[in-house]
Amino acid sequence: MDPTLLAKLKAWRHHLHAHPELSQQESRTSAFVAACLAELGVPFTSGVGGSGIVATLQRGAGARSVGLRADMDALPITEQNDVAHASTSPGVMHACGHDGHTVSLLGAAAVLSRDPTWQGTVQLIFQPAEENGAGAKAMIADGLFERFPMERIFAFHNWPGLEPGVVAVHDGPVMAAGGRWMVTLHGLAGHAAQPHLTRDPITAAGHLIVALQTVVSRSVDPIDSVVLSIGSIQGGSVSNQIPEQVTLMGTLRTYRPEVRAMVVERMKSIIDGVASSFGLRAESEILSTGRATVNSPAEAELAVAAARAAGLAVRRDVKPSAAGDDFSFLIQDKPGAYVWIGNGLVGKDGDLHNARYDFNDAILPASVSWMSSVARLALAE
């Protein structure tokens, strides 16, 4: 990569890391991206699906088109890194590397705009609100595919634990469909020394926790992968009172829609059954906030070819993740592929969503090269 461009990309990445914004609040980030695109001389449209931006590169008479996507939002985490580019926004940081994704796409815009060897149209999609699952859907609702036509679409995520610059390409599922769930058990409060006069939601919650763990172990085919986790329990405030209610919250991750439907039904049955056996009333909500990210076969092969054309090592043996990404909505009706590019071994900087995580600037040449390469190949096919 041109050293001058690499230095510019690093500076841009550090600026974004120092000024993170939460989902659906990316106004400064969007303005900065717009300024960078203007500096590069790349035409763009702002305000797509909120703070989203789509830059369009056209060359020659080629009729083919391809989309490249990067997410821009940060997380509600207080950064613990002692670096010059650490977050200046209290309680907000780029703990998932979206700053690196954004800058990689800017780098691809710079490289492709200077490259006369391709023909067609490249749509560069700077997407807000990936972390809360709203950004892709908002851009689609705002006419993304109608206003900026593309035949197929590609994206990447930096991946800790994978060697720097190595491209992991999955056949089929890459990430799971996510979804939050919440259960409130309503009982009868009373004195802790007279439990027989109460309807104890804490005891019932304990039984419910154990019972829900049997859904995966006893109702799901071992060939399928499902994660059913409880992340929060809230109930009671004093030691000598049995509270009126207890609320449990958790997450559900699946890959296949039919498996998800079965798990949700089993959860509802268990929740209602436990509540009834303890004389309680259960109020439950099981949300499906995403869908599984699944690579289409031809695009997965094209992603591999692009990596090799860029001189990057490829791995096909990495297992899918139970994490989610709303890129899944962008490839719901479009063929596409989502790859991982190694960020390096997990060390003191931690894993994704850790307060010490940081995108590895050393992989910028790899990420920019892969995005540029996959665009060229997609247009040449």
Any idea where the domains of the chain sit in the sequence? 3-175+292-380, 180-286
Pairing mode, strands 336-344 and 153-160? parallel
- Dihedral sign of CA atoms 11, 101, 34, 22 in order: negative
Number of H helices, E strands in the chain: 10, 16
The secondary element (H helix, E strand) that includes residue 13 is helix 3-18
Nearest to 96 by CA among 76, 67, 125: 76
Per-residue DSSP letters for 35-76? Answer: HHHHHHT--EEEEETTTEEEEEEEETT---EEEEEEE---BS
Q: How far apart are CA 142 and CA 244, in angstroms?
A: 45
Q: How far is CA 358 from CA 202, 219, 343, 362, in A?
A: 40, 39, 9, 11
CA angle in degrees (0–180, nearest 5) for 306-308-309 = 65
- Select from 3.40.630.10, 3.20.20.70, 3.30.70.20, 3.30.420.40 the CATH code of 3-175+292-380: 3.40.630.10
Following CA atoms 161, 164, 170, 174 in sequence, which dihedral angle do they give, to the nearest 10 degrees?
Answer: 50
Q: How far apart are CA 58 and CA 123, in angstroms?
A: 9
Amino acid at 76: P
Q: What's the token pair of residue 298?
A: 């031809």
Q: Which residues, listed in sequence order, are joined to residue 228 by a DSSP beta bridge?
A: 252
Nearest to 95 by CA among 81, 74, 73: 74
Contacts of 196 (CB under 8 A, 6+ apart): none
Number of Cα atoms under 13 Å in the Cβ half of residue 351: 3
Residue 136 DSSP class:
H
What's the pLDDT score for residue 55? 98
- Dihedral sign of CA atoms 46, 141, 104, 67 in order: negative
**pLDDT truncated to tens, each residue of the chain (381 aa)?**
999 999 999 999 999 999 999 999 999 999 999 999 999 999 999 999 999 999 999 999 889 999 999 999 999 999 999 999 999 999 999 999 999 999 999 999 999 999 999 999 999 999 999 999 999 999 999 999 999 999 999 999 999 999 999 999 999 999 999 889 999 999 999 999 999 999 999 999 999 999 999 999 999 999 999 999 999 999 999 999 999 999 999 999 999 989 999 999 999 999 999 999 999 999 999 987 678 999 999 999 999 999 999 999 999 999 999 999 999 999 999 999 999 999 998 877 679 999 999 999 999 999 999 999 999 999 998
User: pLDDT tens-digit profile of 296-350?
Assistant: 999 999 999 999 999 999 999 999 999 999 999 999 999 999 999 999 988 776 7
Total Cβ atoms within 10 A of residue 277: 10
Nearest to 21 by CA among 75, 70, 97: 75
Nearest to 334 by CA among 296, 288, 289: 296
What's the pLDDT score for residue 350? 74
Q: What is the CA radius of gyration of the chain?
A: 23
Q: Which residues, listed in sequence order, are joined to residue 253 by a DSSP beta bridge?
A: 227
CATH of domain 180-286: 3.30.70.360
What's the pLDDT score for residue 287? 84
